[in-house]
Structure 1
């Protein structure tokens, strides 16, 4: 195509007249003028060896689908990956409603673009509040990690303290985001944990609590595959030191586990991906923050909150932004914190999912997952060389130790592909004390046949 002026059918501004209009609008004579600020030594010399463009839309679609079909995915394999994005069932109606034009195209906007968006986000926040036991909940943040970080900064502003204590076995990826978001004024310190139970070391917690501690963060279920049975004691210890407690939760577990507010937590944060969002290259995520409906907490939210408001029509409800002036949208550079584009659309999907499930649905979901996990752990532990290194109950995620089999997790996962099984996430890099362990995730999508396929495959691979 060299030397020819090519007009790409999928890129309207490649048409010469349109391109010239754009250049005229910005006062430039050529596209090259746009790149004048790039130093010469950083520029690529020569011609990129790219294939010719595929002009036919049909041919282009077939080509892309052919590339994608080379992937091993959770649809054509039995997937046991979790640890932050889980393989849950998404009812078709969730996509149908989320993709309606009035939701999909209204973006953030304001009341003039609202065709039910404000109410949908209010309902989403309300149901998350029901699950966690709190009254106030924000529109979704980017993800769980971002929600933790925002909550940490909220506590630091509220009590004017400069240290966050976090569970040492929280997700390292989430911890990395929190450290980066909180620096330089807030330090983040890890608390020890028991390797065999996965529970926080309460003695270490009490030793590290001080008048500098703004908040204590822990996860329940624990990232490494246990349930934090000391949750109430952790929250009480934080409160005795004048600090807040922040609990990271999987919202689908709250149909069977105690709500964080009930055992004394001040904040609940977590991931909404399990609430009706597909896994999508690690995407389909969004974080939530729930607190009490007190100004001490609500006044520190940087994100949008939606609530009920009066209307001039008797008997009708209105839905509007709560305490809007506290946000950076209203106060700009004077805002206490800043947020940009968020995942409000995912919050609407979560609202549909939670409304469909209801309290009984969440109870049945949680009980089903607990039973599947218990069955899988028991059967795997009976295979010679395989150990379950963390004791106690698990919800969705649990560790499987292959060290004594003499095989690495990478070798086992490669062998599992022959059985159309996607094995667990290798954890030895994040937690060396667990050796050749992998984090497996079992959810409601796994049938007994799926679980027996995994168990049978591992018996043969580890023999």
Structure 2
């Protein structure tokens, strides 16, 4: 038997006993389904690491050199959004996330030793329910993309005879790709609804046409949309969906709910979103926090994916107690018949979001939303004054993100973006490959982190690039 060069090895007699117990003669038999040509033949020659053990000092220096290759954009922060946005992370959120009780958070199967975690997750659910104006929130998903995909699958479990979901043509392309991956094995499909080329808003007549066959289990909208504009017809879209017995699913940026109407108030059956803006930072792309909520209807709640923490009392009724509820939906009980196969939820991220929401409160969300609106609209106004630049591209109100078109500047955005990087500025997301009909367009993002000086620097630098 070949000893593993890095992992500790058990005594031979223990290994032999374990192999006998599972009914194999040796370790090689466990890997017989892996072709021999695909296996590592000589562990000593495996090209990994630096060829020798390193001391802690050497490891730190080696890692620091790798990290030095990263370009960090702080002043100004990146003007890049598209699903993950630069927002301020309060110090108190970072501090609580570092506490050992929460840092190792895992699904609290052993309730008697996890009351603190369950209470923290229950508070997250309660605060998120209030923000969304929805009655039931789970203890989080992986991210917005997985939450949306799970919402689509949930709609098919409720509307069992239907086989498609209608989404806006302007849907986040990254989320759409994930959802298609989730739906494909089940034989379900995603169908897009046209948008008004002037406003970007969903074409309601096209929506009715595609609902008329009564094959759609749900209609999905993003508010704000991936392209930044606010879907002003959200309530009407929900009513139309319900007229055809389809569910109404809304995807939201929670930060926007200080100034925009909540999905519950707009008639949503299911609400999903990205919790990354709620004190999580960018973190090189993750981990993030998928928000998932539904209305108080047991037909819906029993089809909900993920963990749900509940509040009850001790047997004598004298003390409150927390517990995971409706666990018969989940895979550790129902196995392959579970409502979803999400496993470890993003508990630490949910705790952070709970702290952030408690810290800001209702008025804090309102002030933050207004600040973002003011700064993003100031940025669009200044960019629109540049020769050949149009910002925003659509004639609609927007929140935080907006499209900037460079068709009439005589330059491709790829070139402009590289020049911005040379000047220490990270520009917006080039979206031509996702929306070719929009031409040389980029999606820019402005949040509370972007000062007037940051925005003016962007505008001045762009002006110089365009004048070259």
Scaled by the length of structure 2, the TM-score of the pair is 0.90
* Rounded Cα–Cα distance in structure 2 between residues aligned with 1:69 and 1:322: 47
* Pair 1:175-2:176 in alignment: yes
Alignment of 1:66-145 (within 5 A): 66-75=65-74, 78-110=77-109, 111-145=111-145
Aligned partners of 1:68 and 1:98: how far apart in 2?
23
Of residues 173, 196, 199 in structure 2, which corresponds to 1:197? Answer: 199
TM superposition shift of 1:6:
11
Q: What is the CA-CA distance between 1:411 and the residue it aligns to?
A: 1.4
Q: CA deviation at 1:213?
A: 1.6
Deviates more, 1:60-69 or 1:422-431: 60-69
Which residue of 2 is the match for residue 208 of structure 1? 210
Backbone CA RMSD of aligned residues = 2.4
- Residue in structure 2 matched with residue 290 of structure 1 by the alignment: 293
Is the deviation greater in 167-176 or in 91-100?
Answer: 91-100
Q: Higher mean Cα deviation, 299-308 or 346-355?
A: 299-308
- For the 8 Å contact 2:276–2:289, the answer to whether it is kept is yes
Candidates 448, 451, 460, aligned match of 1:447: 451
1:220-240 CA distances to partner (integer Å, 9 max, x unpaired)?
A: 001012110011110010011
Any conservation in 2 of the 1:225–1:390 contact (CA below 8 Å)?
no
Instruction: Tell me, yes or no, if structure 1 residue 300 matches structure 2 residue 303.
Output: yes
User: Which residue of 382, 392, 397 maps to 1:393?
Assistant: 397
Q: Does 1:334 align with 2:337?
A: yes
- The aligned runs of 1:13-92 (5 Å cut-off) are 13=8, 27=19, 37-43=33-39, 47=45, 51-53=50-52, 55-75=54-74, 78-92=77-91
- Report the CA distance shift for 1:383/1:298 in structure 2 as closer, same or farther (over 3 A): same
Return the offset for 1:74. Answer: 3.3
- Per the alignment, do residues 390 and 118 of structure 1 end up closer, same or farther by CA in structure 2, a change over 3 Å counting? same
Q: 1:303: how far off?
A: 1.4
Structure 1 pair 212–30 and aligned structure 2 pair: CA distance change class (3 A): closer
Deviations 1:64-117 (A, max 9, x none): 111111111233653111111111111111121122222222411320330411
Name the counterpart of 1:384: 387
Instruction: Give the match's secondary structure for 1:400.
Output: strand
| Residue equivalent to 2:465 | 461
Count of matched residue pairs: 453
Cα contact 1:141–1:147 (8 A) shared by 2: yes
Range moving further from structure 2, 273-282 or 28-37: 28-37
Checking the alignment, whether the CA contact within 8 Å between 1:198 and 1:225 is kept in structure 2 is no
Q: Which runs of 5+ in 2 are unaligned?
A: none
Q: Judging changes above 3 Å, is the alpha-carbon distance between structure 1 residues 70 and 34 closer, same or farther for their aligned structure 2 residues?
A: farther
Instruction: Check 1:34–1:445 CA distance in 2 against 1; reply closer, same or farther (3 A cut).
Output: same
1:426 Cα offset (Å): 0.9
Matched residue, 2:439 = 435
1:421 aligned counterpart, secondary structure: coil
Displacement after TM superposition at 1:433 (Å): 0.8
- State the alpha-carbon separation in 1 of the partners of residues 103 and 380 from structure 2: 41
Cα displacement (A) at 1:353: 0.4
Q: How far did residue 262 of structure 1 move?
A: 1.0
Contact 2:425 2:458 in 1 (8 A): yes
Q: Paired residue for 1:231, among 212, 231, 234?
A: 234
TM-score by length of structure 1 reads 0.91
Other-structure match for 2:247: 244
Identify the range of structure 1 (160-169 vs 30-39) with the bigger mean alpha-carbon deviation.
30-39
CA distance in 2, matches of 1:25, 1:84: 51
CA shift for structure 1 position 37: 4.3
Deviation at 1:331, TM superposition (A): 2.1
Distance 1:6 1:243 in 2: 55
Shift of 1:12: 5.7
1:324 maps to 2:327: yes
Say if 1:30 and 1:320 are closer, same or farther in 2 by CA, change over 3 A.
closer
- CA distance, structure 2, for counterparts of residue 381 and residue 369 of structure 1: 18
| 1:248 Cα deviation after fit | 0.5
Q: Say whether the 8 Å CA contact 2:375–2:447 is kept in structure 1.
A: yes
Shift of the alpha carbon at 1:31?
8.4
Corresponding residue of 1:403 = 407
